[in-house]
Amino acid sequence: MIRLDRVSKKYPDGTVAVQELTLEVQRGELVVLVGPSGCGKTTTMKMVNRLVEPTGGRIVVDGTDVTDADPVALRRGIGYVIQNVGLFPHRTIEENIAVVPQLVGWPRKRRNERARELMELVGLDPAVHGRRYPHELSGGQRQRVGVARALAVDPPVLLMDEPFSAVDPVVRSQLQDEFLRLQGDVRKTILFVTHDIEEAVRLGDRIAVFKQGGLLEQFDTPAAILGAPATEFVADFVGADRGLKRLSVTSITPADLEHPTVVRADDDVTAALAALGDERWAVVLDGDGGLAGWVGRDMLTGSGSVGERARRMEAWVRLDDTLKVAFAEMLQWNAGWIAVLDPDDDRYLGVLTPSTLHAALRRSVEADAKDVARAEVVLESVQNA
């Protein structure tokens, strides 16, 4: 969908911002460009919508060579979101969102409807915020307007240059969550620039790590970049705590689960004790295989049913959650294990413990190490091309 083929940019003063960069963003994919300040991320992005002209190579967007396209028409077809949004201060929020629809000649009624629909999509209330001016919104709300404006004429491609970096970390995290949800619905092809590796890992389907001079060091999935950095530069850039960051990109799989003793809520105490054998506790399920709680050996005294004695669970996770979510829940509840449920019907599947968590993390590192042999080959061929 977006293809950069040996693209270079040398500014007139001799600065080489990007060198022979080859990169492809597939339809519906979100690729994050990440790297230290001045490594050519913004230059790369601006060459795609021709705010900067390349000095070498070719850029093709949706089958069209951008150097052949009329730059104004090209920019209207590519949404662009920047750090400080660049809203018009004397226009209302609704008018700001409708800028491009107005430029391309949509009638007023359609423009207004579209602006309201987009406000709702990005979590703003059209009745409250639509008639306000940019200075009457918070930083986070202004960033949402920036995203809404970029989506106004439904462009297939979005370029986003540090769109969330001007807001505080809490709002930033909220905007990232909302943005991921939005992208799940609209599935745009997105090139996203950030200098923050955490943001890259959280948002990217793939991440391109750059170093000074616009050199591509590694282009791969977040898990592979964290699990098996291809070069020392990438390892330094992602940080010594990359093991921890990996938790947030590794999902729980059925193979990671342990299967402790399970008893039913309507089992009687004696049967449950027999089932427990030497174990100290068991998971308690209801009649439908749902999680009813847990029970300890010392709670199984007298007669009656397990259900009367079971303790309800404080927390659980689902199979499609990440290891980070599981680990955080275990810490929060000071628990030695956490139950894992089926994301579709909430049936109980097994439990995660600190040692299975660790094994899961190692498994994913090893899986990615295999991938990296491939990534290195690609990288070499790009650099030597």
- Kindly list the residues in this chain that would bind ligand ATP in the complex (CB under 6 A): 11, 13, 15, 17, 35, 37-43, 195
Q: Are 383 and 222 in contact (CB under 8 A)?
A: no
**Shortest distance (Å) from residue 236 CB to ligand ATP:** 17
Do you know the residue count of the chain? 385
> At closest approach, how far in Å is the CB of 35 from ligand ATP?
6
Q: How many whole angstroms separate alpha carbon 275 and alpha carbon 273?
A: 5
Q: What is the 3-state secondary structure (H, E, C) of 6-59?
A: EEEEECCCCCEEEEEEEEEECCCCEEEEECCCCCCHHHHHHHHCCCCCCCEEEE
How far, in Å, CA of 156 to CA of 178, rounded? 19
Q: How far is the CB of 177 from ligand ATP (least distance, A)?
A: 23
Q: Residue 106: which residues within 8 A CB-CB, separation 6 or more?
A: 98, 114
- Give me the least distance between CB of 133 and ligand ATP, in Å please: 28
- Shortest Å distance, C-beta 45 to ligand ATP: 8
Least Å distance, CB 53 to ligand ATP, is 11
Minimum CB–partner distance for residue 38 and ligand ATP (Å): 4
Maximum distance among all Cα pairs of the chain, rounded to whole angstroms = 87
Rounded Cα–Cα distance for residues 28 and 189 (Å): 4
The residue among 38 and 289 lying less far from ligand ATP, judged by its C-beta, is: 38
DSSP 107: -
Using the minimum distance from each CB to ligand ATP, give the nearer residue, 15 or 270: 15
- Which residues neighbour 12 within 8 Å (Cβ) at sequence distance 6 or greater? none
Smaller CB distance to ligand ATP: residue 11 or 88?
11
Q: Which CB sits closer to ligand ATP, 150 or 215? A: 215
- Evaluate whether 264 touches 306 at the Cβ level (below 8 Å): yes
**Residue 271 corresponds to which tokens in the numbers above?**
């049967």
Q: How far is the CB of 211 from ligand ATP (least distance, A)?
A: 10
Q: DSSP string of 315-330?
A: -EEETTSBHHHHHHHH
Q: Regarding beta strands 16-25 and 281-285, do their DSSP bridges make them parallel or antiparallel, or are they unpaired?
A: unpaired
